[in-house]
Every structure is written in structure tokens, then in C-alpha cells.
A and B are shown apart, each in its own frame.
Chain A
């Protein structure tokens, strides 16, 4: 379900999770299968060889018995006894046998599985040899002490070479073509089985990987749709396993925050352009009016003064908007320096004394040291807005600053008419101007002053609240964490 506008991704199996899982799975499964089958086959082979060796041993006994009988028949021995009684050896050393000497059936002919034997003395003379013995037999040397028999594979035959001390050296062997064929068939079956299991495993693995991957694809396609404009959609975590559900929650939260930020920005732009419309109308109206007819210079001057005042108003509005935007977007941590709120306040209060005097109001303070972390300029702005707000719409103003163990409290109170109950919940909204506060162009921040103050407070992990005092007048309270906390 890739979006039609995205270019199709080039096929790069080494980068695809599914393909990589599949490749690893194939490798591991193959390794496991081989690790299992190999010893099994080897074991079977070992067993087979052992069995063949046992058979050859028995054949050897048969042969010896047969030769013994021959000896008995020729009347030269008492009969019975262990396998290589001295009498037999002497018999053989005297070369009393011939190719015509009857042998067990297994030693006859060269059909599949034929057995053969050859007996030599220490000089290498053939003492006895079956008619079907192959050429080039290698004998074990005769030594003083008994040596263990040599057992070996020669082509398609299995041979034992035995030597009797001071006596004879025997080679006895057997063609094992049928056994080898059997072995080969069995190996083939094992291999075929292994391959089948491997392929089935691959198929199962592919299916499993697909199922595991599918939620990822769902997340991916949902996120793509959200990013491309369907901003209300969210990933549904209900059908997913816990790991992916967690991822879905995290992504959904991010989308929520993004949505909120986009909405804030949209609202901001709408508010801003809205606020500019009236001043622009004034400029248009006044300039058009002035230009309509010839006038006395005094009229032009008055009209231009109106235009200038309005342009000033727009400039202040733009400035305030920028300040607000910067406060809302800036990661406050960048500007954190240690400062003392009471010092910031003292300076701001001094700056506002002229305004208070102009309005015939008093501006008093009661400050105690309040170390904190923050941006001194932003804090000055916050304080200034609260103070000018109090002077403009309240009355005589008092600023208090106190510190407790965990927080700093700044209070700005006035003895004016207070804030109407209907305005109180929205007093910090942008561009919200309480009815009684409808001002002329003298207002500094054009309805943004308190919104800016609130943004600064929040940037410093603090809270700013407004209330009416029981004795009349408004009270604005800012709480900030102290430097230590």
C-alpha cells in the first residue's frame, strides 16, 4: 500500500527486514539441519562399516574352518581347535592347498558382495588364494608380536589384513558394492528429507515474518496518510502486539503534539492577520479621504498624524506578536542563567514609575531576594506587562516578591475595579481585551501583554494566575521554582 506519489523503493534485499529475517532463518535452519543430518549419516555409515567388518570376521572364520576341513580330509590333522591352530598354519606353510581347494560359497565368483582371501608367508609366496582375489593386495608384515588387524577400504571392497606372528599374513576382503549403494540411497533420502524440511521451514518462516511485519506496514502507511494531510487519523494499536502497540502510542502522541502545534500556529496566524485588519483599514480610509480633494495643510497634517499613529500601532503589534511567537517556540533551557527575580523587579519597577506618575498612581514594592534560573529579559518583560496592565486598568499598584523553600512567588496587586467574572477565565487569551479595558492606541501590547506574560511563565516552568481580591482590585500571582529546585 505505498502512496502513489512516492517513487517505488529500489529492491534492496539486504536492507529489507523481511528478507534479512528470511536469509538468517534459511542459514540457521540449514546449519541446524546439516548439524543433525551429518552425524546421523556418519553414524549410519560407521554402523554399516562395523557390520561389514563383523561379516568379514565371520567370513574369515568360515574360511579357516573350510581350510581345516580340507586339512582333516587330507588326514593330516586331529581336527577342532582355535582358529589358527599351529597344525593349520603348518599345513598352509607346506602349501598343501590349491586353487581347487573347496571354499565357502561366499568366496566364489565375482558377483556383488563376493568375498576373497589371500594368504602369504613371510617371503611373500602365496600359500593360498581364492580364485577371485584381486591383484595388488597389500599384506600386513609378519612380526614377532601379534599386531592388530588392519582394516581398510580399497575401492569398492573392504579388506582386513591380519598377520600371525612367525607365520602367515592374511588378507581377507569383501566387495561391498551393494552396501555402498544402499548407503548412497540412504544419504540421498536424508538429503532429500533435509532439503524438504528446509524449504518448508523457509515457507513457514516467510509467512511468519510477513505476519510480524504487517503491523509495521500498517503503522507506516497510516503515518504517511497522517503526514500527507489527514491530520485527525491515528494509528490503531488494538490489533497489535505489545511492542508495536507501544510504538503506536508513542507515534500517536507525537502526532497529537504536532497537530496541536500546527493548530496553534494556524490560530496565531488567524489572530495576527485579524488584528492588523483594522489598522490597515484606518490607513486606507484616511489616506483615501485626504487624497479626494485639495485641502489646507493643517488638514493634511492631521490626517497624516492619524496615519502615523496607526502605523505605530501596527509596528507595536508586529513586535508583540514576534515576542509572543518567540516565547512560545523557544526552548527556554537555552536562556537559563542564574538570576535574581527581585533585582529584575526592582529595575522594571523603576522603569514604570514615570507611567505611574503620569496617571497619578502609586507603584510600590516589597521585595526579598529570589534566586532563580531563567532569562532575565523575558522575566523583565513578564513583570513589565503585569505592572503596566495593573497601572492601565487597575489603580495604585503594589509588587511583592517572596521566596519559600521550594518556590518564588511574585504578586502584582492593584486597587482598581478588578477583573469582571466573565473575563477572568480568558484574561490570558491572545488579543482578548476585557470590555472595560478597551483602550486607545496607547496600549503597549495590544491585547497580547498578558498572553506574553503567561508564555514566559510557562517557559520558566512556572504558573501565572489572576484573581480578584476580596477587598477589591485585581491580583496576579506568578509562581516560579527556586534555583535550588
Chain B
């Protein structure tokens, strides 16, 4: 999953980005509203974490720009915690709203929930055939046996599972699994796909030549 993190405070941005990357998200960052709009318009993200108080354009203006064409889920972060601000945020089109200071675990849980909801899944444990994927603990089990996966492998599997039934193109996978910090070596998609298939030892992941992959 690829997340766009929009936060102007450099230290906070660094800390949150690190936190998210350690949770296997690919993270792009933006320092202000203008940069946020530029990146959101030009790339596909699974979620946008959007701070409200920013220079150049604030969070409200970014949200106004995104909606209604861009359906990417948006989680707003802000120090403003009056009920009025919360209502405004949710009514303007944010999907969730967290006030500072917040607990990182809560942020991560809400992100997971938003991504899950966007994929049409209501529970954190998704089962397809013998595969059971727990998105909260990031564990994969096949017929009950836990399968150890690397971060990239899990991310890839989760993306395919959440887009179950859809053909996911390689381009899309490149976009959603890697962020601007990744080097080209780690971007070898085929390596991750074949490793994943080997570990799962099932025929879950299908290849559609010329199109992409899918889990049906």
C-alpha cells in the first residue's frame, strides 16, 4: 500500500514516515499543500494522511481540490480539536480525523481500517481458500500454518488479496508497493512474485500474460 503523508513539520514527518514504512507501507511525503496536490494528482495512493495547518495551502484546500474526483481515502491530522473542526473535516470529505497528539498505534489502526474499507473488506482477517491473511498482525497462514514473509512479500500479497478478483497490472504494483525512497534493486517485482508463490505453495496467484496478476 502506498501512502501520501502530508505534514509540514519536518521532525514529525520524518517520524511518521519511518513509522509507516516499518509497517510495510510505501510512503511519499509532501511538505505543504501545493506539493500534496501535485503528488496526489500524479500518482495513485491507497491513502492520504493529511495535516490541516500547513503553509501555502492548508488541508482544507487540498481536500477541496481532491474531492470529488479523487476517491482516495483521506485521514486528516490536526491540532484543532473542537467539535466544529471535526465536523467540518468529516463533512468536507475526510474519511477520518485524528487530533494531535495521537497515539501511533491508533493512527496505524485507523489507516488499516480505511484501507480495508476501501477494498470492501469489513474484517481484518481475510480468507481466500486455504489462505488466511490477518491485516492487523500482518500474518499469512495457509491451511492454518503461519508463513513467514518479508515485508515486500507481505505487502504484495496483501495488495493482491485486497484487490481480489481484479487484475492488478505490474505498473499498478510498482506504484503501490514502492515509494520514492526505494532503490531500483528492491523494485524487482518478479523476484517478489516468484518468492511469494514459492512460500505459499498454492496456485493462488494467477498470471494474466500481458496484463498482470490476480487472486480470484
Rounded to whole angstroms, the CA-CA distance of A71 and B193 in the bound complex is 175
B11/A309 in contact, CB under 8 A: yes
Contacts of B38-65 to chain A: CB distance below 8 A? 55-56
Interface assignment of A326: CB less than 8 Å from any CB of chain B: no
Q: A440 to chain B: closest CB distance in Å?
A: 6
Report the bound CA distance from A228 to B99 in whole Å.
33
Q: How far apart are A267's CB and chain B's nearest CB, in angstroms?
A: 14
Q: In the complex, what residues of A have CB within 8 A of residue B22's CB?
A: 289, 292-293
Does B15 belong to the interface (CB within 8 Å)? yes
Chain A positions 293-340 with a Cβ under 8 Å from a chain B Cβ: 293, 306, 309-310
- Name the interface residues of B9-25: CB closer than 8 Å to any CB of A: 9-12, 14-16, 18-19, 22
A186 contacts the other chain (CB 8 A): no
Measured between alpha carbons, how far is A293 from B14 in the docked complex, in Å? Answer: 18
Q: Tell whether, in the assembled complex, residue B8 and residue A288 are in contact, meaning their CB atoms are under 8 Å apart.
A: no
Nearest B residue to A310 via CB reads B11
A277 interface contact, C-beta 8 A: yes
Complex-state Cα separation, A347 to B205, whole angstroms: 73
> Does B103 sit at the interface, judged by CB under 8 A?
yes
| Residues 71-108 of B contacting A (Cβ, < 8 Å) | 79-80, 99-105
Contacts of B11 in A (CB 8 A): 282, 306, 309-310, 441
Tell whether A94 is near chain B: CB-to-CB under 8 Å: no
Distance of A435 Cα from B61 Cα, bound (Å): 15
Most A C-beta atoms less than 10 A away, residue of B9, B11, B102, B103: B11
A285 touches B12 (CB 8 A): yes
For residue A280, CB closer than 8 A to chain B, the reply is yes
Q: A278-B79, A306-B15, A435-B56 are in contact. Are A288 and B103 (CB under 8 A)?
A: yes
Contact A278 B105 (CB under 8 A): no
Query: What are the residues of chain B within 8 A of A438 when measuring CB–CB?
Result: 8, 32, 55
Q: Which residue of A lies closest to B77 (CB)?
A: A281
Please give me the residue from chain B that is nearest to A441 by CB atom: B11
Closest to A433 in B: B55
Query: Chain A, 269-289, contact with B by CB distance < 8 Å: what is the 0/1 string?
Result: 000001001101110111011
Q: Is the CB of B9 within 8 A of A435?
A: no
Q: List the B side residues contacting A278 at CB < 8 Å.
A: 9, 12, 79, 100-101
Find chain B residues with CB under 8 A from A440 CB. 10
Min Cβ gap A406→B in Å is 41
Q: How many residues of A contact B (CB 8 A)?
A: 22
Bound-complex Cα distance A285 to B100 (A): 11
Chain A hits for B100, CB < 8 A: 277-278, 280-281
Task: Indicate if the CB atoms of B101 and A286 lie closer than 8 Å.
Answer: no
Contact A281 B101 (CB under 8 A): yes
Contacts of A310 in B (CB 8 A): 11
Contacts of B16 on A, CB cut-off 8 Å?
Answer: 285
Nearest CB in chain B to that of A309: its residue: B11
B10 touches A284 (CB 8 A): no
The residue that B104 contacts in the complex, of A274, A288, A309, with Cβ under 8 A, is A288
A289-B15, A435-B55 given; A284·B9 CB < 8 A: no
Contact assessment for B12 and A282 in the assembled complex, using a CB-CB cutoff below 8 Å: yes
Say which residue of B8, B55, B80, B104 sits within 8 Å of A289 (CB atoms): B104
Structural contact, A306 and B14, CB atoms closer than 8 A: yes
How many Å lie between the Cα of A281 and that of B104 in the bound state? 9
A284–B79 contact, CB under 8 A? no
Give the chain A neighbours of B12 by CB distance below 8 A.
278, 281-282, 285
Q: For residue A306, which residues in chain B have a CB less than 8 angstroms away from its CB? A: 11, 14-15
- Which of B22, B56, B79, B99 has the largest count of A CB atoms less than 10 A from its CB? B79
- Interface 1/0 per residue, A133-171 and B, CB below 8 Å: 000000000000000000000000000000000000000
Name 24 interchain pairs, CB-CB below 8 A, sorted by A: A274-B79, A274-B80, A277-B101, A278-B79, A278-B100, A278-B101, A280-B100, A280-B101, A281-B12, A281-B100, A281-B102, A282-B15, A284-B101, A288-B103, A289-B15, A289-B22, A289-B104, A292-B22, A293-B22, A306-B11, A435-B55, A435-B56, A438-B8, A441-B11
Taking Cβ atoms with an 8 Å cutoff, the residues of B that contact A are 8-12, 14-16, 18-19, 22, 32, 55-56, 79-80, 99-105
Q: Nearest 3 pairs between A and B by C-beta? A: A435-B55, A277-B79, A280-B101
Given A277-B99, A277-B101, 14 new contacts (CB under 8 A): A280-B100, A280-B101, A281-B101, A281-B102, A282-B12, A284-B104, A285-B12, A288-B104, A289-B19, A289-B104, A293-B22, A309-B11, A310-B11, A435-B56
Interface residues, chain A, with chain B CB atoms under 8 Å away: 274, 277-278, 280-282, 284-286, 288-289, 292-293, 306, 309-310, 433, 435-436, 438, 440-441
